[in-house]
Amino acid sequence: MDYQSVLDEVAAAVAPQIGRGQVARYIPALAAVDPGRFGIALAAVDGTVVGTGDWEVPFSIQSISKAFSLALVLAQDGESIWRRVGREPSGNPFNSLVQLEHENGIPRNPFINAGALVVTDRLQTMTGDASTTMLDFLRAESGNPELSFDAAVAASETEHGDRNAALAHFMASYGNLDNPVPTVLEHYFWQCSIEMSCRDLALAGGFLARHGLAADGSRLLSRREAKRINAVMLTCGTYDAAGDFAYRVGLPGKSGVGGGIVAVIPGRCTLCVWSPGLDARGNSVAGVAALDHFTTITGWSVF
């Protein structure tokens, strides 16, 4: 398959969608991002990497980081995290407090904000520096040693992070956080502020397409663990639009309010698409459309 031609066709097909939606205005540092940006990259398991559009422009990965923190915890700590966070779709907004009260401080899944805070808490306990551990991991897997945090985004999220603080304090009241709430929030905001391009993210997520093998060929995750991360991405990775994403795209995916989406085709490749305009549920309008078109014309989905 001529990957480059496919991506060029996808970009042309979704051009009318680019710029639609709204950027994440509740994070001021993201509100200034040009909604007309669009990029898509493909990293195949054979080492091929191609892209089109703004595929090498860094952007804030935001909630895409949640997939990597979960992988790091599973890699180092096994299945114990599932005693503290569930694996079911939430059906509620990603920053909802409602289910936590009904479910005694146990988040529904690791990709809503409450669940991601629990995973970050565990990574912090394991490493002593959750955000730097993630940055180092992403540098290694993407092959880009220049990856860095965006201090302005981290500061913006900290300043406007009252809802996340409420989630963390609520879970702490149930004993579901081991570290002080300010520490957990700090590392969570820093990991969300990491800047990466579509190229970087497609490469960094390659271990999920390689059934758990890291970029250097070592085993990061067992095949079973990689399968399970992909499964949770499929059912929970696009906030409360996961059902529609599975219907349209048919791939495990993890989105972020920076406008990025990483999608995995196990055994074939990892994709990353970026376009900052978001729909009402926080997913990139043009990004979802691009992945929908990609799986339609290639026939590559998990179904």
Active site residues: 63, 66, 188, 239, 257
Per the listing, tokens 């898509």 go with 40
DSSP state of 161: -
Residue type, 118: V
CB atoms within 10 A of CB 100: 22
- Residues sharing a CB contact under 8 Å with residue 262, sequence separation 6 or more, in sequence order: 64, 67, 201, 202, 205, 253, 254, 270, 271, 272
Tokens representing 184 are 């957990």
192, 120 contact by CB (below 8 A): no
In angstroms, the first-to-last Cα distance of the chain is 20
Instruction: Using alpha carbons, list the distances in angstroms from residue 208 to 4, 40, 101, 148, 186.
Output: 22, 18, 33, 22, 27
Going by C-alpha positions, the residue among 282, 238, 113 that lies closest to residue 188 is 113
Alpha helices in the chain (DSSP H): 3-13, 28-31, 65-77, 98-102, 113-127, 130-142, 151-159, 162-173, 181-192, 198-204, 206-209, 223-236, 242-248, 285-298
CA atoms within 13 A on the CB side of 185: 20
Per the listing, tokens 């694996």 go with 87
CA gap 212, 275 in Å, rounded: 28
